[in-house]
Structure formats: structure tokens, C-alpha cells
Amino acid sequence: MIHAEGVAEVTDTTFDAEVGGSGLPVLVEFTADWCGPCRQLAPVLSAIAREEAGRLKVVQIDVDRNPETASRFAVLSMPTLMVFKGGEPVKSMVGARPKRRLLQELEDVLPAVV
């Protein structure tokens, strides 16, 4: 798996605990080794995980090794980015995007900065 630095990897087994058990919104990247755009997204996710650490948890899941979770959320394209709150998906985006655009798209699901 193309691992983004500072981003935890979840599996079919750990998904519910890591994503559902988080007090923060969780950005999940559904990724795969063969996915070119996923490689482009890795540094973007690393930066967002670092910069938004107090407001957002960022994790990755490899769809080839964890088919149950991918099929549960009907993920067909890589990368798919989903935001979960309280274990429920609240936003879904498909495809790589630059950091600024991704942050804009996440604005409505992130808690306000105090």
C-alpha cells in the first residue's frame, strides 16, 4: 500500500473501532497499490493529517486486502475519500485533488477552530 506518512492504516478488523470510536471526524482514504492517483494523494493526506491533527483523524484502508469494508460502503473507484462522524459516512469524494481544494471540501465537516 502507498502509505501516507503520519496516516494510520486500518483493516476490515480494526475499521469500526478506529473510525467509529473516534471523537473527531475521520477522513478515510480507500486506496490500492496499483492506484496512480493514490500515490499523488499520499503527500496531501500526510500534510492534512499533520496540520489538522486536532480537528480530523486521517486513516487509509487498502481495498484489495480489505474487501469487506470497501463493499460495505460501495467503494468502486480509487482513491475514494470518505468522511465519517460517529461511525457514519457524511461525505464522499472520488479522485485525487490538491490540498487546498481538499481542505475547502472538508470545511463543512470539520469542527470550527476555537
Asked if 69 and 61 touch (Cβ cutoff 8 Å), the reply is yes
38 is catalytic: yes
62 is catalytic: no
Asked if 2 and 46 touch (Cβ cutoff 8 Å), the reply is no
Q: Name the catalytic one among 38, 45, 75, 83.
A: 38
Q: Name the catalytic one among 35, 45, 82, 96.
A: 35
78 Cβ partners below 8 Å, 6+ apart?
30, 31, 32, 35, 37, 38, 63
Asked if 80 and 93 touch (Cβ cutoff 8 Å), the reply is yes
Catalytic machinery residues: 35, 38
